[in-house]
Structure 1
Amino acid sequence: MNRILTYPDPRCIDKMDYWDEIKKYPHLCISQTLVQGLSHKYGRTEFNVLCTADRFLKQFYKEWKDDSQNDIEQYIDMTNIIRSLEDDKMKKTFDFNRKDIYASLKFLFESEIKDEDINLENLSNEEKKVLDIYEKLKSNNRWNKLSRLNEKDVENIKTSLMNILLDDIKKELGIDKCDNNINEIKSKADQKLKKLSQNVSMKKNKAFGIKRDNDKVLLDRILHYKNLIQDTNLSAIDCSKVVLHGVHQFTPLIYRLIRDLNKLDIEVVFMFNYLPKYKQVYKTWDKVYEWCKEDREVYEYDTGYIYNNLGKNIGEVIEGNFFNLSELDIEITVFDNITSFTNYVAKKYDEAAKKLNNDGKGPSNILANMNEQFYAVSGEKANNLLKVYFPEQFGEKHFLSYPIGQFILGLYNMWDKKENKIIVNETSLRECLTVNLWDEKGYLTPLEIYEKVKLYFSDLKTLDEYLDRIDVQIKYLERIEKEEKYKPFGRFSFYGISIEEANYFKTIISDLKSITETLFEENDVNVGEHYSNLIEMIKKRTEGVKYSTEEEVNLVNQIYTKLKGTSIEQVSSIDSIKETLHFYLQSSQNDDSANWIVRDFEQIDGGVLLADDTGKESWGKGAAYYHYAELSDNNFTTVCNDILPWPLKETTFNKNNKTIEIVINSKREYGNFLKYMLFYGTYFLDKRLNISYIEENNDEKNQPYFILGMLGVSKSKYSVTSQDNSINSIEEDIAQKLLDTSCIDEEILNSFLFCPFRYLYEYILDDNQQFNSEFHASYYIKLVVAFKIRELNSKGGLKKSIEEHVKDFIKVFKLMFPFWKESDFIDIQNGIISILNGWVKNRAINTNDEVYRAIREKYIHAKIAGGSGWFERYRYGVNDKQFNIDKQELINFIKINDDSVYEIDKDRCMYCSYREECARVFLEEDIHG
């Protein structure tokens, strides 16, 4: 019933005898990059339907695969069963691993596991329990929905294809969010076609030639789509066959699709690359298609292409032929760790972004303009780091990744299921304050205020305690504002805000308290009502708030509209609802993995097509280099048990179930598939190639893929250059102003000579130095009291012993600094006495010297062990010659604008009040170890 077609070179598929026939059928590709590569090489108009297999599955099995409400209800069903487990140890284990348990259950249902499919020997307790839960859920309509989707017909296929085509044309028209109203879409298409036709017909010139080429491609695509959807029955598309292109890793749903299509007498045509002369390389394809009894159709073709020597050598070695190897001119770059690699990638991305004009700075444009294209054996870790810096590149973001989404996560993460109430923690509260849902009124943002006052509230756990503490804070802020003796305490960051800002912060905390009381009134709640209350609350607070982006507001409205059309009557715990947030608070999302900065190796299939500069939709030369990363020996080794969701293992199943046999067999071959992809990606690549691996692997050292060693590929250590790590700290316009030497005085030079980076923070970025860490606050308060007692003593004002005076100060401080424990105050008391005793012993120190006192209060210490006594010449004056030398050094620092030439003194960093903001010491440790 099915057919297996192969091609000797992905760049010559159109030369195969079957091409004219096969291109008219729906073409489902295993990766989005393959979709892009086929469009790039052969032109999108060559195909009627061209999309990923996963995208079609989401349409065809929508009730199971793309229904967030059903996902939530399933998750709650599972959670309620876990909560009812009698074995406390098992309950805790399953509760902690709920996502894995959910994935296991989905796998079991999609594979249609029966009792006879289970290998009862040597099952672990966890395997037995997940199978018990599976049995309980078999009769649940939310879970057995897939088994009730057996009545699919050709009309369902055409409906799925129509929805895909409508989404494609809407994307080309820039109206992604509108409904699938065919007449409206046709009207929009006509308008766009008219405009594009005018552009294309205009006389080309050098300035606009490339743009008009793009217009021609877009015009052809839209016209093609419009012709396809002209007939709502899709009579222009032949559905008698469906092409599955590049499928190696079979999933239960892909195999189910094959069976469902066959039931409808639809032939499934498998397509993949195959070269008979490299039998061992392609053996992995033979194994995963053993279940398919049809003969593989192998074609030979003299392509005329020159093949990459590295690819040829890898193929020859795998075949056991060591006597037909070509000379190689390539090294493998060694990155110390994942951070070093991602820094390198980020630099390449930045370079591409800067070359583009603002109006062309879309994610796909930047990626296409990167001079080096990256593919990694496992790119997840690198992309997770890169998402932090370039979130716009990774497609349509999940709602929870926006600041408003972080606000919601912050609320739920403060819910303590043991205490059955909100327990404040710094990380979650910071997430809540990231988005400003409150009136700003010219104050600092909520997060900026929190960063200043967090130490003051560090011992508190409830929002009620926060509100009481703020009242105490305001009382002392009033004293600091009015009474001279309290002025020094304004150097503490939590007493460095205004009274208005403290009241503003109180309003914010009060609102958070109101929100949590509404949402978390009871532990077990009606899920549907809870979500409705949540999104209604967010909707009200985002309307008209200038800090909410248009995209965020649109997402809130989408979710609000979706909620109004759904109903979930289940009752569940707040903790369970927190786990289901990611299902519900999302809009429909496309697979944008092809736009990831570091693509996975599975994407190489289309990558070699994108590298071909002769493609029908090419607009000039692409990237100069391709970069295959993470080529460590360890990454090419995979175990089936690592791929199946916990607690399932290969040994969980017998070989009675064909779905399981096919899926397990392909997963067992995953390591060999990665090796094939390295061959494929090098052999057919018509670009210069860089290769690399990451040496650090937890406590072990990775080694490069062993075949590269057999080929004599030498290692080249990646070294961080000053250009890579220099921080252009001062913008040119600021630097010009600073070069006014008349403003440079001894105080400024003091700061610069202490540390150039402190100077930047103190005199360029922040002119209001405050102590915000417990370490610095403790030191500063000791100094303030010590100087006060010394001052009283010099004036004859001490009426008691020094120890008694210190205790009197401590009594006051216990009210002013309520976050400190009794042990902290004992430490402060001992510290004050120690400072005073030190001054008595060192008679060279004049504590009445205003310069000395100012330096101690500003820098904590006047001379730091290991330092050079940087301040001493300014205590007693300095000759003009030395002053001018130091001033010139500061001017040079501003002019050079390269801070990498200055080394830091770690001892000074320890006592610097800007340590946390600057974090230079941590950067130095990361670079130099």
Structure 2
Amino acid sequence: MKNVVITYTNPARLSETSAFTPFVNSLHLCATNSLRKGVTKYYQGKPAEYIHAPIVSAGMLFSKLLGSWSSPAVKMKQFTKLTKLMRGQENTWGRELCRAFRHNQIDVLQTMRTLAEIGTTPVELKPTSREEQLFQSVWGLMESSDSDFQRIRSRLGSAHNIEKRLREALSECLIDVSRLPEKITEIVLHGFYFITPLQYRVMSLFQNAGIRLVFLNLYDTRYPNSFRSVERFLSQWVPVEQWQIQQSIVVSEMSWGDVFASAYEEETRKSADAHFGPRVIQFEDFQTFLSHYEDHSERETYYSPEHENLNKRLKDYYPESYPDRHFLAYPIGQYLFHLHQMWDDQKRELVLNEKGLFECFSSGWLQIEEKNARNFTIMLEDVLPYFSSCSTLKEWRRQAELLKEVKLNAADAFENSGSRFHRMMGNPMLRFSFFKVKHTDIVLLLQFMEKLFTQAELLFGRKEIRLHEHFEQIAQLLAAGPDPETLAEEERELLEQLRKRLKLDFIDDESYYIDDVAQAVALYLGGEFNNELEEMTLPISKFEDVDAVAFMDREIHLCNLDEESLPYAVNSMPWPLTRQTVHGLQSRELEMLFIREDVSSSSARYLFYNVLAFAKQPVRLSWIRNKESKKLEESVYIMVLGLSPEKRSALFQTQDLEPAGCAKGNLEAVFQHLKSFPADAAAEFALCPRRFYYSFVVQPFASYRNEFHQQILYQNLLKASYALSDASTQEINAQLSAIFPHWPEVRKRYLAEEAQKYRNTFSKGYDRYESRNYVRGRRLFQLLVPSYPVDDKNLLEPANKAFQANVIDETLAKPIQDEKLMQLRANPSELCRFCPHLPVCIEGYYPADDKMRSFK
């Protein structure tokens, strides 16, 4: 039987397409899962069912037909094996070329898998470059050493028993196979406006088994430039002149789909009523888009050609909306991932960066007895600057011991007082965040670090290992983790699932280098090897899913339609093969890649037309103007509609709120308490009440984490030592340099030279507080600089006056009564750059914005 192409002009009026009527009882295979859902709901729902056969998506069916080939475990084993094979090629092909392959190894593996799926063999390849020669060599080794390649060739190489395999796959898809005819003689292929090499291969198997292919697709002869992709792909099976085409029905009112599609034809452009057209919105930035999403997500369905980036950003705000398929969404996944990220392939040893350490601490999977590292992340942030020069575990351990020693013998050498203010005024070392942490807490932090290092060494302590052995060690690590009863239900289920997979998926006796395993496991945990044929529902759907809007009764929002995202260009050449080499294979399956490149813009127009012509509810088209330091215009697809955009930029709205405050009975006690504060606190209040709030209300007193601030503190420490010590300048420089080993010597020499130039700025006078005298130069450790002139005005003058007055009743207790905000108001200025709280203050000024503010 000959294959057939049947076209329709309206997806929601398929019953009027008489050519399709004979096939309503035939197995219905939809190109996408979105189309499957739409067709099922619309044509198999109540009250009248039009399509009587099972409806399944291509991704769902092909995944079952391929068996374990698409599973994450098989891909991970193949990736690990490929890494091992690549390591053996360096002497022959050179390190640089092999390193390029390692950097693109996922693409290299995917190319091998694609070629195996369509039946191409390594000997058929005619390489034209060293990259392709290396690829051919490694591919041949991969084929001979991995039995999965042989199995997939056997599975997709013959149409023998294809109907039986098809029924088995449909049964695994949970399809009611009782609705199938006794013999499958035809399959309806719905919505294949483009066809992948794998799809072409499977369709060819169906055809070779005597199964008739009935292609069913939206098509309108009036707009060939918007339907060219449909023509190019489906004409590979049936010549266009043999298609059974449903002609367009002429209507008096044009849809906005007609307006759009006619703009790409030579005929006179059509117009429509703008009042009933799509609404165009220009969002100033992502936050403005987010504000709209928060208000409209219940009634709008979102699609975007940039869906991956948008979903990644939205997930930070709505993590509960993302049904994750991989372990990275959970603490245990983060912990295992960063453990495996610690292995450095170039250095061939364990390394650790600050981000990885922080993620391991915050995962909740690092604990010592009853203490969990998650509760010590703030202290970890305080001490991390001291480890800024560390990379290898040896360096981390050495620096950890030094921190304990310096904390005990230098930072804690000052008189220790029970009063926070006496500690603050008497010990300048406590202004460094890593010296402010208690010695006992530092010891505990270092114990957490050591446990992490020990676990990493357990996983990576051997040069070679089998996959199942490595996963047995992971299982031991999991068993030593938190009590499962303390975990959320989802994480408990995930943990049990992971344990089962570790036992079942990785039965392999081949040994691998540990660094090969580390990279593969990190990718595995990150979801890199997930089955690409399986589709999942996300808040922002991919643009291709608009093929089902005709069956939806919801408002449609196409977002992020800027000049860079649409129309999109598809570059589908398999790396590292060139177009010339791919052409030389003379494969009908690979020809699909060239066709898709040629008609990529037509495919995008096909989808855009689909939305504008058939959406039942209002349509919104939007883009984000400011994105990653670029100013972007709307997509040309929006431009051709000629609609004026609504500009959205005001994210923050002014609201009259009742000021929060203390209960009246507590006010007097608060003000009496404030009178006990030193002038240092009043000086900070005089500069910025918000800074005072963060420094003395939220915490005992402020310390500095930022390296810029700590370098100023280091200079001030030198100035204080020059002024108060009898030691020589060289001795002082050497002693302090030893306390700060994480900075390069050249930097410390520069800081010392600068400190010597301004050594006289340290005041040796004294201020009295509660019967004790404190050197006046301590102010440099609080405010960092003695003065800061701007336009002939010293911005530190309010603080200086508060210090001089030293009357807390007038400079702090009474002024604070006039404050209406619990957080106290901010007084932003150029001094914000010296404030330790700038990262958390939304009103703070950053130096990068100085020039912009000067123009206002």
User: TM-score of the superposition, structure 1-length normalised?
Assistant: 0.76
Other structure's SS at 1:156 match: helix
CA separation of 1:629 and 1:144: change in aligned 2, threshold 3 A = same
Shift, 1:61, TM fit: 0.8
Residue in structure 2 matched with residue 277 of structure 1 by the alignment: 222
Q: Kindly provide the amino acid, as one letter, of the partner of residue 61 in structure 1.
A: L
- Which of the numbers 565, 576, 584 marks the counterpart of 1:647? 576
**How far apart, CA to CA, are the structure 2 residues paired with 1:252 and 1:504?**
57
CA separation of 1:927 and 1:154: change in aligned 2, threshold 3 A = farther
Q: Which moved more, 1:666-675 or 1:686-695?
A: 686-695
Q: 2:243 matched to 1:296?
A: yes
Residue in structure 1 matched with residue 781 of structure 2 by the alignment: 857
CA separation of 1:626 and 1:928: change in aligned 2, threshold 3 A = farther
**How far apart, CA to CA, are the structure 2 residues paired with 1:710 and 1:146?**
47
Residue in structure 2 matched with residue 97 of structure 1 by the alignment: 104
- Which of the numbers 131, 145, 154 marks the counterpart of 1:148? 154
Other structure's SS at 2:481 match: helix
Q: Which moved more, 1:779-788 or 1:455-464?
A: 779-788
CA separation of 1:402 and 1:856: change in aligned 2, threshold 3 A = same
Shift, 1:258, TM fit: 1.0
Deviations 1:500-523 (A, max 9, x none): 322322322222232222221233
**How far apart, CA to CA, are the structure 2 residues paired with 1:738 and 1:260?**
83
CA separation of 1:104 and 1:928: change in aligned 2, threshold 3 A = farther
Q: 2:702 matched to 1:769?
A: yes
Residue in structure 2 matched with residue 389 of structure 1 by the alignment: 317
Contact 2:350 2:392 in 1 (8 A): yes
**How far apart, CA to CA, are the structure 2 residues paired with 1:105 and 1:392?**
37
Q: Kindly provide the amino acid, as one letter, of the partner of residue 173 in structure 2.
A: I
Other structure's SS at 1:871 match: helix
Q: 2:711 matched to 1:778?
A: yes
**How far apart, CA to CA, are the structure 1 residues paired with 2:605 and 2:850?**
33
Deviations 1:843-878 (A, max 9, x none): xx9665869656533221353333633424423448
Deviations 1:350-376 (A, max 9, x none): 336xxxxxxxxxxxxxx5x1x443322
Residue in structure 2 matched with residue 428 of structure 1 by the alignment: 356
- Which of the numbers 684, 698, 712 marks the counterpart of 2:614? 684
Contact 1:463 1:509 in 2 (8 A): no
CA separation of 1:783 and 1:702: change in aligned 2, threshold 3 A = closer
Residue in structure 2 matched with residue 160 of structure 1 by the alignment: 169
Residue in structure 1 matched with residue 291 of structure 2 by the alignment: 347
CA separation of 1:581 and 1:739: change in aligned 2, threshold 3 A = farther
Shift, 1:292, TM fit: 0.9
Q: 2:404 matched to 1:457?
A: no
Other structure's SS at 1:891 match: coil
Deviations 1:114-138 (A, max 9, x none): 5797576xx3332333233334444
Contact 1:696 1:702 in 2 (8 A): yes
- Which of the numbers 268, 271, 282 marks the counterpart of 1:322? 268
**How far apart, CA to CA, are the structure 2 residues paired with 1:39 and 1:51?**
9
- Which of the numbers 596, 613, 618 marks the counterpart of 1:666? 596
Shift, 1:276, TM fit: 2.7
Q: Kindly provide the amino acid, as one letter, of the partner of residue 286 in structure 1.
A: E
Contact 2:30 2:191 in 1 (8 A): yes
Residue in structure 2 matched with residue 248 of structure 1 by the alignment: 193
CA separation of 1:268 and 1:759: change in aligned 2, threshold 3 A = farther
Give the aligned CA root-mean-square deviation in angstroms.
4.1
Matches within 5 A, 1:668-817: 668-694=598-624, 703-706=633-636, 708-714=638-644, 718-723=648-653, 743=670, 751=684, 754-755=687-688, 758-759=691-692, 761-762=694-695, 765-784=698-717, 786-787=719-720, 792=724, 800=726, 804=727, 806-817=729-740
Residue in structure 1 matched with residue 759 of structure 2 by the alignment: 836
Shift, 1:261, TM fit: 2.2
**How far apart, CA to CA, are the structure 1 residues paired with 2:683 and 2:548?**
59
Residue in structure 1 matched with residue 420 of structure 2 by the alignment: none
Contact 1:57 1:65 in 2 (8 A): no
Matches within 5 A, 1:79-118: 79-85=83-89, 86-88=92-94, 89-113=96-120
Other structure's SS at 1:244 match: strand
Q: Kindly provide the amino acid, as one letter, of the partner of residue 789 in structure 2.
A: A
Matches within 5 A, 1:842-921: 848=767, 855-866=779-790, 868=795, 869-877=797-805, 887=816, 890-891=819-820, 904-905=828-829, 907-918=830-841, 921=845
Shift, 1:399, TM fit: 1.1
Other structure's SS at 2:788 match: coil
**How far apart, CA to CA, are the structure 1 residues paired with 2:851 and 2:580?**
45
**How far apart, CA to CA, are the structure 1 residues paired with 2:386 and 2:274?**
63
Deviations 1:670-705 (A, max 9, x none): 221012211221122233333234556889865544
Contact 1:4 1:297 in 2 (8 A): yes
Contact 1:71 1:583 in 2 (8 A): no
**How far apart, CA to CA, are the structure 2 residues paired with 1:335 and 1:681?**
21
Contact 2:194 2:230 in 1 (8 A): no
**How far apart, CA to CA, are the structure 1 residues paired with 2:815 and 2:691?**
16
Contact 2:311 2:538 in 1 (8 A): yes
Shift, 1:545, TM fit: 7.5
Q: 2:205 matched to 1:260?
A: yes
Residue in structure 1 matched with residue 490 of structure 2 by the alignment: 551
Q: Which moved more, 1:13-22 or 1:445-454?
A: 13-22
Other structure's SS at 1:269 match: strand
**How far apart, CA to CA, are the structure 2 residues paired with 1:677 and 1:373?**
15
Deviations 1:265-304 (A, max 9, x none): 3333322212233233223211111211263322358699
Q: Kindly provide the amino acid, as one letter, of the partner of residue 7 in structure 1.
A: Y
Contact 1:735 1:894 in 2 (8 A): no
Other structure's SS at 1:541 match: coil
CA separation of 1:346 and 1:708: change in aligned 2, threshold 3 A = closer
Contact 2:114 2:198 in 1 (8 A): no
- Which of the numbers 578, 587, 592 marks the counterpart of 2:518? 578
Contact 2:223 2:261 in 1 (8 A): yes
Deviations 1:504-547 (A, max 9, x none): 2232222223222222123332223122222332343244474x
**How far apart, CA to CA, are the structure 2 residues paired with 1:927 and 1:302?**
61
Residue in structure 2 matched with residue 185 of structure 1 by the alignment: none
The sequence identity of aligned pairs, in percent, is 19
Q: Kindly provide the amino acid, as one letter, of the partner of residue 492 in structure 2.
A: V
Q: Which moved more, 1:696-705 or 1:274-283?
A: 696-705
- Which of the numbers 411, 415, 418 marks the counterpart of 1:484? 415
**How far apart, CA to CA, are the structure 1 residues paired with 2:252 and 2:325?**
40
Other structure's SS at 2:495 match: helix
Shift, 1:53, TM fit: 1.1
CA separation of 1:592 and 1:127: change in aligned 2, threshold 3 A = closer
CA separation of 1:116 and 1:94: change in aligned 2, threshold 3 A = closer
User: TM-score of the superposition, structure 2-length normalised?
Assistant: 0.82
Unaligned runs of 5+ in 1: 167-227, 353-366, 613-621, 793-797
**How far apart, CA to CA, are the structure 1 residues paired with 2:246 and 2:685?**
72
Residue in structure 1 matched with residue 746 of structure 2 by the alignment: 823
Other structure's SS at 1:595 match: coil
Q: Which moved more, 1:48-57 or 1:438-447?
A: 438-447
CA separation of 1:707 and 1:61: change in aligned 2, threshold 3 A = closer
- Which of the numbers 478, 481, 485 marks the counterpart of 1:538? 478
**How far apart, CA to CA, are the structure 2 residues paired with 1:459 and 1:402?**
30
CA separation of 1:264 and 1:444: change in aligned 2, threshold 3 A = closer
Unaligned runs of 5+ in 2: 417-425, 769-773
Equivalenced residue count is 803
**How far apart, CA to CA, are the structure 1 residues paired with 2:135 and 2:681?**
67
CA separation of 1:700 and 1:465: change in aligned 2, threshold 3 A = closer
Shift, 1:454, TM fit: 0.9
Contact 2:38 2:548 in 1 (8 A): yes
Contact 1:8 1:275 in 2 (8 A): yes
Residue in structure 2 matched with residue 131 of structure 1 by the alignment: 136
